[in-house]
Chain A
């Protein structure tokens, strides 16, 4: 058994990870669940946020400004994906894969090489560590993540209740009705996908600063991790209403990271992480279908898009 201190550290670390990867989960929740727009840009926009932060910080830019710039870069990536979909009518899944692949080259260009260290640079974490009482690595990581998490949570909770936010949510629910109510659903889709990728890039930018390096391959499988967090959150918290839905995405990310940390400590090779995550998502997607099969309900053929 682990000592209580180790358990506390494990929980605290997972909480921190749950929050920073929670931004990504919130982005995935916005596209997949709110907008019903399967957006795979995530793998690219996560690294985009990280590389923008890294290059700006190395060039002496204030880390908070650099983090804001990362959000802006993510928004741009989301704009490209959603414009490909709404203006050129490329299916969402394909449009986002195209942008994801394209972003790999963009990220390499931004960084100039496949990885960049950030170890002795000024980051939002190194700034926080200078505050009194925040000397311990875990404490300052948690505090930074919690402050950012609170800001993101309150902004999203407010935005999704506004008139524009309502139109955005309705777009994923019943696009026909929304157009009938006089809303250009192209615009709400573009806005939603842009915000979602801004959140993903924020996640990438914060993770880069916390781990002290950026690697061009750090985004692989991030979309699946985000989906896993959303699915776990929905299964565990059965949320109704905006507040609980947002908390479920963050909570799902926390539980997912906690389970992973435990598995790694128990000796699972880190290389197996992606496969385990993929299997978790496959099971989560297959269970509702198999339940219906067992009840002999009629089911439509599989969707191709």
Chain B
């Protein structure tokens, strides 16, 4: 496959919440983004910059007000979430969102493995599939492959998020969306999950959008970095450009692009 082929194209996407009321908010104000196949993009921006809205629009949680989304040459702008799902794997900030607590690990994996496929009246878990689940879970090094029958509600937050990551990637989606997926984890667990992410994304050469608040991570991971501000993409750097940059350089780039002083946005600088 051509390295420079567009996988996902966003063309002047706008998203306005509570349109026509006094609470009207323009979450996305004309976003253009051309995601190449195998891109691993870190997305940064302060609260309210539109990062999560961007992922929601791509995943089809709600349609944009205007603009087009083209995935693999197909217009998916109007597809609703469950129809988008065979293309999109997603890990959420909250580990509880990506996994079902009252079901076992293998049942969760079976749900994820059939993402986007027709579901029938075959029994969902069998010996062959269990082997597949074990093979997918073993690289995590968390021992989950030996606890396939355990209820997911009994796992720790980090374990659940690692499971959610495997579930989001096991069906080999066209694009992986990571929505601040390590933000609620403690630093050590966060590092483990981040390393696992890097391992899976690199191994599967998965096209990935990773939203983060953490500038250091954004500089360290991925081959491309985009910065959002007030519903627009204000910085878009390739790997060569971001190599050797410091957080200070990034803040300067932000100030230049956004046309304002970078003040009091401590969250953005959190390490």
Is A162 touching B121 in the complex (CB atoms < 8 A)? Answer: yes
Q: Give the complex CA separation of A53 and B86 in angstroms.
A: 45
Are B90 and A183 in contact (CB-based, < 8 A)?
Answer: no
- How far is the CB of B96 from the nearest CB of chain A, in Å? 8
Give CA–CA (A177, B167) in the complex, Å.
Answer: 10
Once the chains bind, are A179 and B81 in contact (CB under 8 Å)?
Answer: yes
Decide if A7 is an interface residue (CB 8 Å cutoff).
Answer: no
Contact partner of A181 (CB less than 8 A), chosen from B102, B115, B120, B151, is B115
B123, CB-defined interface residue at 8 Å: yes
B124/A163 in contact, CB under 8 A: yes
Q: Across the interface, name the chain A residue whose C-beta is closest to B81.
A: A179
A176 within 8 A of B: yes
Flag if B119 contacts A177 (CB, 8 Å). Answer: no
The interface bits of chain B over 93-111 (1 if a CB of A lies within 8 angstroms of the residue's CB, else 0) are 0001111111100010011
Q: Of the candidates A159, A161, A164, A174, which one forms a contact with B99 in the assembled complex, judged by CB atoms under 8 Å apart?
A: A174
Cβ of B183 under 8 Å from chain A: no
Q: How many A-B residue pairs have CB under 8 A?
A: 86
Smallest beta-carbon distance B100→chain A, Å: 4
Chain B residues, Cβ within 8 Å of A178: 100, 111
For window 160-175 of A, CB contacts with B under 8 Å fall at: 161-167, 169-170, 173-174
Which single member of B81, B86, B102 contacts A173 (CB below 8 Å)? B102
When C-beta atoms are compared, the residue in chain B nearest to A34 turns out to be B102
Query: How far, in whole Å, are A164 and B120 apart by their CA atoms in the complex?
Result: 6
Interface residues of B in 68-109 (CB under 8 A from A): 81-83, 85-86, 90, 92, 96-103, 107
B122 and A180 contact, CB distance less than 8 A: no
Q: Could you tell me the distance between the alpha carbons of A110 and B166 in the complex, rounded to whole angstroms?
A: 54
Q: Does A135 sit within 8 A of B, measured CB to CB?
A: no
Q: Assess whether A179 is in contact with B82, with CB atoms less than 8 Å apart.
A: yes
Are B107's CB and A166's CB within 8 A? yes
Closest to B89 in A: A180
Chain A residues positioned under 8 Å from B111 (CB to CB): 166-167, 170, 177-178, 181, 183
A173 with B101: CB separation less than 8 A: yes
Nearest CB in chain B to that of A175: its residue: B100
Count of chain A residues with a beta carbon within 8 Å of a chain B beta carbon: 24
CB distance from A9 to the nearest CB of B (A): 40
Q: Does A163 lie within 8 Å of B99, measured CB to CB?
A: no
Contacts of A167 in B (CB 8 A): 111, 119
Instruction: Say whether B135 faces chain A, with CB atoms less than 8 Å apart.
Output: no
Cβ-based interface call for B117 (8 A) = yes
Across the interface, which residues of B come within 8 angstroms of A182, CB to CB? 82-83, 85-86, 114-117
- Rounded to whole angstroms, the CA-CA distance of A161 and B102 in the bound complex is 14
Is B140 positioned at the interface, with any CB of A under 8 Å from its CB?
no
The complex places the Cα of A164 from the Cα of B111 at a distance, in Å, of 10
CB of B81 within 8 A of CB of A180, answer yes
Q: Bound state CA distance, A240 and B150, in angstroms? A: 11
B115 contacts A166, C-beta separation under 8 Å: no
| A184 and B97 contact, Cβ closer than 8 Å, known pairs A162-B121, A170-B111 | no
Query: CB of A158 within 8 A of chain B?
Result: yes
B167 cross-chain contacts in A, Cβ below 8 A = 181
**Inside 8 A of B96's CB, which chain A residues have their CB?**
174
A82 adjacent to chain B (CB < 8 Å): no
Is the beta-carbon distance between B100 and A170 smaller than 8 angstroms? yes
Q: How many Å lie between the Cα of A184 and that of B81 in the bound state?
A: 9
* A178-B110 Cα distance, complex, nearest whole Å: 11
Q: Is B112 engaged at the interface, CB distance under 8 Å to the other chain?
A: yes
Query: Can you report 5 A-B residue pairs in the complex whose CB atoms are below 8 A from each other?
Result: A169-B103, A173-B102, A174-B99, A176-B97, A182-B115
Sorted from nearest, which 5 A-B pairs have the closest CB atoms? A182-B85, A163-B119, A173-B100, A182-B116, A174-B100
Known: A177-B97, A179-B81. 8 other contacts (CB 8 A): A162-B124, A163-B114, A170-B107, A173-B100, A173-B102, A174-B100, A180-B82, A181-B111
B residues with CB within 8 A of A: 59, 81-83, 85-86, 90, 92, 96-103, 107, 110-112, 114-117, 119-125, 151, 167
Residues of A within 8 A of B (CB): 158-159, 161-167, 169-170, 173-174, 176-185, 240
